[in-house]
Amino acid sequence: MEVPGKVGWPVVGDKSVEFYRDPMHFLSKHIAHTKSPIFKARFLNKPTVFVCSNQGVRDALNCTGEHLDFGYESFMKGMFGHNVLFSKDEEAEAFRQFLSKLFTNHCLEEYETVISRIVTRHISTLKITREPLCLYLFFKNLFSDVCLSLFLGLDSTENSEQANSILSLTVDHWRGIVSVPLDLRLVHAPSTYSKALQAKDHLLEMISIQKKRAKAGFPMKVKETSNLDGSIVDNHLLLFTSALLPKVLASICTCLYVEIGKSDTSYYQGRARSDDAWLEDLLKEAMRLCPPLLGGRRLASKNCLVAGYNVPKDYALVYITHFAQRDPKVFEDPDQFKPERWAQRPELKDRLYVYGFGSRCCLGERLSALMLKTTLSSLLNKFVVQVCADQDFSHKFIPVLRPRNHLMVHLRAI
């Protein structure tokens, strides 16, 4: 079938501004207009197929590397250098083999010690006061510290000045990532991108130094397991230590507490303290309902089929995880927070796409799960988190899902 919709004229027919201004409105409007969860429009000044159905996203992710290439190189490679995100075929497989050695069971056991130490330290700073706590900011700071300690072997308590310097650079670097020239009308001031490139260079210098100093942990394992060029290894460490991962993990934890911190759902927290399976189901449901990343982008290197629709060669494809994981054809009551669905239908796990799907799925899924469960278990065993009433619970969706305003909570000791 031909994809419904119109790609419009170059430049004047581009819909990028409309999309970035309000992605939910843009997608809902076009789905209603075309009467299809898969439609086409001109985006980033390129004919683009938007895929919002669960099966469509599954097909798109299964095609990655065969008919669809990653679509980030043109506007993200300058920020990260060459790494697994911008590779394909034999090179991609070589990178994945190198990375897989860093996430074995033995490695995860070692990493857990570091993660637990940092999490315990941050949670010990929480106090019961009348003043509410900004939950997203707490989680973002915690996971930033975890990532620095884990991936660079840099303990902020031992060298706070260097840790703060690196965190400041990651902020400048992140601003460059979100201001890259997606469309001429969206470009931020050139100085933002230039400053980000300078931050990238400084970060790579620090990463190289920390890698040489490492005597244990993740950076030591990188040196032991890799036969790749040193700059390539540093580029991957830059990816791991960027501001993206802490924001993603903070997004997941915050969205979970939005659902289980209300007066009528706070009993979920009590059950999660003693039931690991329930905590996992809560996490899956939070990630289903509010995936931290809206979706992803691919480029068609060949004609391919996605959910029965023909995606022509040289078209871009944007898949929308947020809509796919609320597809009523797959999930009953898709807009409701129902963690019990995962015990009733465990096969639905393959319909979650937060970590991708298929041959190019995220290799760090188990490490991410370890960070999330360690953090949430520690918090659950110390406090009941109560979301303050009468506040705005809406989200910003780009580049990472986060509360539109500060999400404030009160803590009550167990």
Distance in angstroms between the alpha carbons of the first and the last residue of the chain: 57
CB 373 within 8 A of CB 279: yes
3-state secondary structure of 43: strand
Read off the amino acid at residue 229. D
- Give how far Cα 330 sits from Cα of 198, 210, 291, Å: 46, 46, 16
Chain Cα centroid distance, residue 196: 20
Q: Which two tokens stand for residue 64?
A: 């990655």
H or E element at residue 404: none
Q: Which of 260, 241, 256 is nearest to 403 (CA)?
A: 256
Residues contacting residue 316 through CB under 8 Å, at least 6 positions apart: 43, 44, 46, 47, 48, 49, 71, 297, 298, 299, 300
Does 362 belong to an annotated binding site? yes
One-character DSSP codes across 290-319: S-SS-EEEEEESS-EEETTEEE-TT-EEEE
Q: Which two tokens stand for residue 144?
A: 């930033």
3-state secondary structure of 17: helix
On the question of a cis peptide bond just before residue 4, with omega within 30 degrees of 0, the verdict is no
Q: Which two tokens stand for residue 258?
A: 């939005």
Q: Which two tokens stand for residue 161?
A: 């000045």
Burial of 290 (0-12, 13-18, 19+ CB in 10 A): buried
Cite the annotated binding site for heme by residue number: 362
Binding site members: 362
